[in-house]
Amino acid sequence: MTGASGFVGGAVCRALSAAGHDVIGFGRRLAPSPGHLGAAAYRQWDLTGGPLADPPDADAVVHCAGTVSDWGPRREFFAVNVDGTSNALATWPGARFVHVSTASVYDPRRPTVMATEDQAPAGRYLNAYGESKAQAERVVLAAVTNRPAIVLRPHAVYGPGDTTLLPRVLAAVRGRRLPAVGDGRQPISLTSIGNLVQACSLAVCGAVDRGVFNVTDAAPVVLDDALRAILAARAITARPVYLPLAAVWPLATVVEGLYRLARSPRPPRLTRYAISHLAVERTLDITAAREALGYRPEPTSFTGAPGW
């Protein structure tokens, strides 16, 4: 398991080790917090430095490691997400390879409407994250002719331990208002960490050992309903207030340009990437995962969110 010290990697480690599998997690950190990996062992490895010199034997590799952000130097994204993926593949050349990708490989400049897996990668991206993840998929899929490999594409992963989606929503609250873009009626596919863990387990242990699969909750939700549910779960007395996409998009473009001119290492609060994921429909077809992997996702739920 690469990226074991992170949100997704830790959850998959806990689940697979609890199911009785012999799991070794790898990550850049010295050591994750107690309990983060369950019963899994841990070794430090920066996969940008090349293939691991003394890898343990492995039947399967779940590759969760990656740089996940909508801002940063392009070289860093490609070093981790592309070169790092190549190094993980080279470290275990005979193992089944499960690559945790992202729905950011779909075209960010137009709505994603119940997209099937053949609609990505796209030819254009808003940032180096989407571009590098698309290239990483190409690297994995090029290896399929010589080894079993599966690509999973979740969208907006949330749940206990979430370091991105829920914190970002809550950080946007201003008094009794939560500014958002669009009209609130757009459907969105979300992916709970529990559903993503299920997909990873099926990809590791199932009969199907090749393919690309969207991975989301059981059905899309309406953005306004999701935002209100998040606020209610955290007992926050705020309501979503929607700003028109046509006005916000050019503003985000200008803000990004100013930050780049200033060579700011900090991301702007407003980016086109963040807007693109919630301002228009972003829904994925999960028929392939249901039929081929036996994927049985739970519906979207924020129960227990106060403790996340």
27 alpha-carbon distance from chain centroid: 17
Q: Is 308 a domain residue?
A: no
The residue range of the domain holding 68 is 7-301
Q: Is 1 a domain residue?
A: no
Give, as one character, the DSSP assignment of residue 237: -
Q: What is the pLDDT of residues 198-257, one digit of tens each?
A: 999 999 999 999 999 999 999 999 999 999 999 999 999 999 999 999 999 999 999 999
Q: What is the gyration radius of the CA atoms in the chain, in angstroms? A: 19
Note the pTM of the prediction, 2 decimals. 0.95
Q: What is the pLDDT of residues 7-54, one digit of tens each?
A: 999 999 999 999 999 999 999 988 899 899 999 999 999 999 999 999
Q: Check if the beta carbon of residue 165 is closer than 8 Å to that of residue 102.
A: no
Going from the C-alpha of 259 to that of each of 72, 180, 252, 270, the distances in angstroms are 11, 21, 11, 11
In the chain, how many domains are there? 1
Q: Is 81 a domain residue?
A: yes
CATH code for the domain in which residue 74 is found: 3.40.50.720
Q: Is 307 a domain residue?
A: no
